[in-house]
Homo-oligomer: A and B are copies of this chain.
Amino acid sequence: MARTQGSHAQITGPRIREAALHLFAEHGFAAVSMRQIAAKVGVQAGALYNYTPDKQALLFSLLKGHMDELLSAAPDQTTASPQDRLETFVKFHIEFHLQRHEAVFISYMELRNLTAENFEVIESLRRAYENRLETILRDGVAAGVFSVHDTKLTTMAIIAMLTGITTWYRDGGRLSADEVSATYCDMVRKAVGAL
């Protein structure tokens, strides 16, 4: 991976983020050195500091980018029925998270390694995302089409169940992503007592 000197501003930045993402997911933030990241990109360790003030900022930038992308990609179709919105949410959540299982992993795993301020930023984005689901559940209860005892608990239960898929699902396994998605959709529907 060694390379000669030269300037590659536009391309090096994204490559650093990509390398860091993979390495953090594989070994954990604390276990990965700036030298390892640099080696994967093909630059020297010192060069990384043209792109990030320090290692912590690099981690935060990865998590923040992931959450921003999640929130802007999440469907927000307030006109459909609660049942349809729930199905759309579940399918979106599974597809989005399966495609980014490394980012999902470190977004949960490395929260401890954020400063208190950075942690608060990520946490509030996560809560905003959870609220999208809870709103669907609440609307369904109000409309009398869901049977849910506690919308907050059910929100947490559904999200944990769906995100858990990323810990074992890999392409080329026994079931396709669509099959998994359909089965989970069905379980969620039943769990909320959808009519």
> How would residues 91 to 117 of chain A score, 1 for a CB under 8 Å from any chain B CB and 0 otherwise?
000000000000000000100110000
Please judge, given known A-B contacts A28-B28, A113-B28, A186-B149, whether A156 and B165 are in contact too, CB under 8 Å: yes
Bound Cα distance from A164 to B162, whole angstroms: 11
How many angstroms from the CA of A109 to the CA of B167 in the assembled complex?
A: 11
Q: A27-B112, A29-B30, A160-B165 are in contact. List 16 more A-B contacts (CB 8 A).
A: A27-B30, A28-B29, A31-B113, A150-B183, A153-B180, A154-B187, A156-B164, A157-B164, A160-B161, A160-B163, A160-B164, A164-B164, A187-B191, A188-B191, A190-B190, A190-B193
Interface pairs A-B: 5 shortest CB-CB: A160-B164, A30-B30, A30-B31, A161-B161, A191-B191
Chain A residues with a Cβ under 8 A of chain B: 26-31, 109, 112-113, 149-150, 153-154, 156-161, 163-165, 167-168, 175, 180, 183-184, 186-188, 190-193
